[in-house]
Copies of this chain bind each other. A is one copy, B any other.
Amino acid sequence: MQDRLQTIQELNIFNGISARTLNDLASFAKIQHYKKKDIILNDKDVKNIFVYILKGWVKLFKDSANGDEIIVDILGDGHHCGEQFIFTIHNQETYQVECISSDLEILILPMTVLKRQLSEDHQLALNFLKDTIEKQYELTLELEHLSIQTALQRMGCFILRLCEQSSENTAHLRLPYDKSLLATRLGMRAETFSRSLAKLSKACNIGVEGEILHINDIKKLADYVCQHCSQTFPCQS
């Protein structure tokens, strides 16, 4: 309980929330661990549980009319899902939540508790509003990228954003999850992803060793990628 309270009060979304509310939330919250390929929530449970990612990655997915799997979203540290079900929205589609990293740590909260606290705690509602608006902004940017950038540029843009913490002109990083999933995430086939990465690494001096990338000239990459975007590096999603 004490550790859960400790965890909760450090989360962005609960910033500035009263001890009273935090205590109530913490008393119903649980911290859970999963491994790759675990289904965390099926399409029914997802409506009743709020999930906050403490560490690792999950994918939200559903099935299309013709049987293919559709990736709704991929969430990492500090992101959450379930807020879609706080209110009853006409024709709301559900999804399943699956762990895609080897060591996932999440915090879960019954939707009933979250709903109650949201209706009672004004600051909590404002925090959720801010968070949702930020999410909306990210989605808008993604939509923009998908409609005006090529596969190559989207990929470069993604890599570039992974570089942002770097203060130098070089960066060494690990792709956050499987290449095939990342491909889908970026709106392309795995084959296209593979070819694009090869092309990009050649054009922008990037060393590729499996899932490890050595970006030797961030500026060069930025030049290559950012022309068609409304933003210029560093742009931060």
Interface residues of A (CB under 8 A from B): 62-66, 68, 70, 72-73, 83-84, 86-87, 89-93, 118-119, 122, 125-126, 128-130, 132-137, 139-144, 146-148, 187, 226-232, 235-236
Contacts and interface: CB of A to CB of B under 8 A. Distances in A.
A130 B129 CA distance: 9
Contact of A129 (B64, B65, B86): B86
Contacts of A146: 143, 146-147, 187
10 A-B pairs with least C-beta separation: A147-B187, A139-B139, A125-B125, A132-B132, A122-B122, A87-B130, A129-B129, A91-B236, A66-B227, A146-B146
B119 A126 contact: yes
Nearest to A60: B140
Nearest to A90: B236
Contact of A144 (B72, B118, B232): B72
Contacts of A142: 143
Nearest to A73: B140
Contacts of A143: 139, 142-143, 146
A64 to B, nearest CB: 5
A92 B137 contact: yes
Nearest to A63: B230
Q: How many copies does the complex hold?
A: 2
A78 to B, nearest CB: 13
Contacts of A141: 93
A105 to B, nearest CB: 25
Given A66-B228, A129-B132, A147-B187, 10 more contacts: A65-B229, A72-B144, A84-B137, A89-B130, A93-B137, A93-B141, A93-B231, A132-B132, A143-B146, A146-B187
B91 A144 contact: no
A118 B230 CA distance: 30
Given A72-B144, A228-B68, A89 B133 contact: yes
A33 B160 CA distance: 43
A64 B137 contact: no
A17 to B, nearest CB: 14
Contacts of A93: 137, 141, 230-231
